[in-house]
Amino acid sequence: MRLPLAALCLALSFAPAAAQTVEDGFEAYDAGDYATAKTILLPLAEAGDAQAMNLVGYMYDLGKGFPKDVSIACDWYEKSALEDYAGGQSNLSLCFREGSGRSKDLEAALRWEIKAAENGHLESQISLIRHYKDRDLEKTRYWVRKALLSGTTISRVAAWYAHVEHEGPSASLLDKACIVVVNGILRRPWRACDDVLR
């Protein structure tokens, strides 16, 4: 027996939509479709997805898809950080370091940066190398070794910068030049060097 077309359409309208993922939300964001990104990410964040929480915070931070509100952004970063998400921990560290969305608190900033770095956040590891350089050689070496596990150009250059390049593979002249040109002059993310130098 065939169902009438109207009944079939009605039945399909109640079928659950394919589950939206954080990756779907990120792709929408990356494509500049902030309304769709918000529609996908906000329910995921409210349901406790730490990565979605961090991305919602980022959207508030930049005023994309949400009204720009650094305080609300830091609230979302904190929720993400408390779920042990390294990106949220790093962003919360910035809130405290810059006194933007949170009262300036350099001790809290350092605590969250360390948590993010321990969770494998490379940018935080690099930040800690810069922080401890000329202050604490053992901590500098520790973070260099952690960063070098990523095998990235920036980690080799950071080891050279911190004068502890003997901890792992040496940064070549090309590595150093790429970081200076790509990040310092072109203001592009330093990760681009890994794509260029492969």
Q: What is the CATH number of domain 18-119?
A: 1.25.40.10
Residue of 63 and 3 predicted with greater confidence: 63
Average pLDDT over residues 101-124: 98
- With contact defined as beta carbons under 8 Å apart, do 54 and 80 qualify? yes
Helical ranges in 99-191 per DSSP H? 106-118, 122-132, 137-148, 153-161, 173-178
CB atoms within 10 A of CB 188: 13
Q: Could you please report the per-residue DSSP string of 16-29?
A: PPPPP-HHHHHHHH
**What are the tens digits of pLDDT across the range 71-87?**
999 999 999 999 999 99
pTM attached to this predicted model = 0.82
Please identify which residue in the block is written with the tokens 């939206």: 20
Please give the pLDDT value at position 184.
Answer: 75
- Residue 122's pLDDT band (cuts 50, 70, 90): very high
For the purposes of burial, counting CB atoms within 10 Å of the CB of 93, is it exposed (0-12), middle (13-18) or buried (19 or more)? buried
